[in-house]
Amino acid sequence: MRTTLTLDKDVAAVIEQLRKTKHQSLKEIINEALREGLKRTGAPPHNRPPFRTASVDLGRYLLTDVDNVAERVAVTKSESFQ
């Protein structure tokens, strides 16, 4: 089957490098890459264990009222609130 491909510059550079190192034709490189890619596309996804975040006890909540943001900032910076 003949077809025309338009390759991005980065892909073309990788293919050209492969052609030089493997001493293969463009057709062989493209077919090999497509075969590998199509195998991975049809394969089932990897089963990864679910990500877990460990919980940490931060202690008792020290502020009584968080509605007044300016007061909370002043208290945190150890300033007197006016």
Average pLDDT over residues 55-61: 84
CA distance 72 to 63: 8
Q: Which pLDDT tens digit goes with each residue over 7-50?
A: 999 999 999 999 999 999 999 999 999 999 998 887 787 788 88
pLDDT of res. 45: 78
Other Cβ atoms closer than 10 A to 34: 10
CA distance 11 to 15: 6
User: Is the model's pLDDT at 71 over the cut of 80?
Assistant: no
Pull the structure tokens for residue 74.
């002043």
Domain ranges of the chain: 9-42
User: Is the model's pLDDT at 67 over the cut of 80?
Assistant: no
User: Is the model's pLDDT at 76 over the cut of 80?
Assistant: no
CA distance 53 to 75: 31
CA angle 42, 45, 47 (to 5 degrees): 155
- Comparing C-alpha atoms, which of 57, 74, 56 is closest to residue 65? 74
